[in-house]
């Protein structure tokens, strides 16, 4: 059966349902390819995933529904955002091969944590206003407090009055 090829345009939602557990893989003149089969808009369609997109799709299985977005984060530069639809579990981290039973999928990768730290540092410095000299300890306390809020952690009791 011939199926159409899904072309994902930038900044558009593409809700798809996996038709198989694994993609068809092979090589051609462009190198390695990963061909996924989806149901999209009531029709069967195929998608040739880039290596970056394949890494985000490879742990989903037949019947899973996800939203795929190709987002422009800088002029001419794109990244893939894959969000499971309601009823589909997060499957971004495979279980270690030697561990049996359930596992907890991670949702915040190292890159995201680094971005959070940078934003919290910027906000901590901005919250201090204009001053001659920045106090490292005060900036660090403000940044850690913001990170705790972002991560949903309880702020330690000894910091009764936040520095901002």
The model's pLDDT over 23-57, given as tens digits with 9 standing for 90+, comes to 999 998 888 999 999 999 999 999 999 999 999 99
Q: How many residues does the chain have?
A: 164
Q: At what angle do helices 136-151 and 110-127 cross, to 10 degrees?
A: 130
Beta bridge partners of 28: 31
Distance CA(73)–CA(112), nearest Å, equals: 14
In the chain, pLDDT over 90 holds for what percent of residues? 39
Give the pLDDT confidence score for residue 73 in this predicted structure: 82
Q: Is 56 helix (H, G, I), strand (E, B) or coil?
A: helix
Q: What confidence tier does 102 reach under pLDDT thresholds 50, 70, 90?
A: very low
Average pLDDT, the chain: 81
pLDDT tens by residue, 109-144: 677 777 878 887 788 777 777 766 777 788 888 888
Positions of E strands within 75-155: 77-84
* Cα–Cα distances in angstroms (integers) from residue 20 to residues 23, 32, 37, 83, in the given order: 7, 19, 7, 18
Q: Which residue has the higher pLDDT, 58 or 128?
A: 58
Q: Which of 103, 113, 96, 106 is nearest to 150 (CA)?
A: 113
Q: Give the list of residues 6+ apart from residue 53 with CB closer than 8 angstroms, or none.
A: 68, 80, 82
What structural domains and CATH numbers belong to the chain?
A: 4-93 (2.40.50), 111-151 (no CATH)
């Amino acid at each position: 059966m011939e199926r159409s090829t899904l072309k994902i345009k930038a900044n558009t939602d593409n809700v798809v349902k996996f038709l198989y557990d694994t993609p068809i893989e092979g090589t051609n003149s462009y190198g390695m390819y990963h061909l996924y089969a989806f149901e999209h808009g009531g029709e069967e369609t195929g998608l040739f995933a880039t290596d970056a997109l394949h890494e985000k799709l490879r742990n989903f299985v037949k019947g899973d529904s996800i939203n795929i977005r190709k987002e422009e984060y800088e002029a001419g530069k794109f990244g893939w955002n894959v969000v499971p639809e309601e009823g589909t579990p997060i499957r971004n981290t495979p279980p270690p091969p030697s561990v049996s039973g359930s596992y907890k999928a991670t949702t915040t990768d190292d890159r995201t944590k680094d971005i959070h730290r940078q934003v919290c540092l910027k906000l901590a410095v901005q919250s201090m206003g204009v001053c001659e000299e920045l106090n490292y300890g005060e900036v660090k306390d403000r940044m850690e407090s913001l990170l705790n809020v972002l991560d949903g952690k309880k702020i330690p009791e000894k910091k009764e009055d936040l520095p901002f």
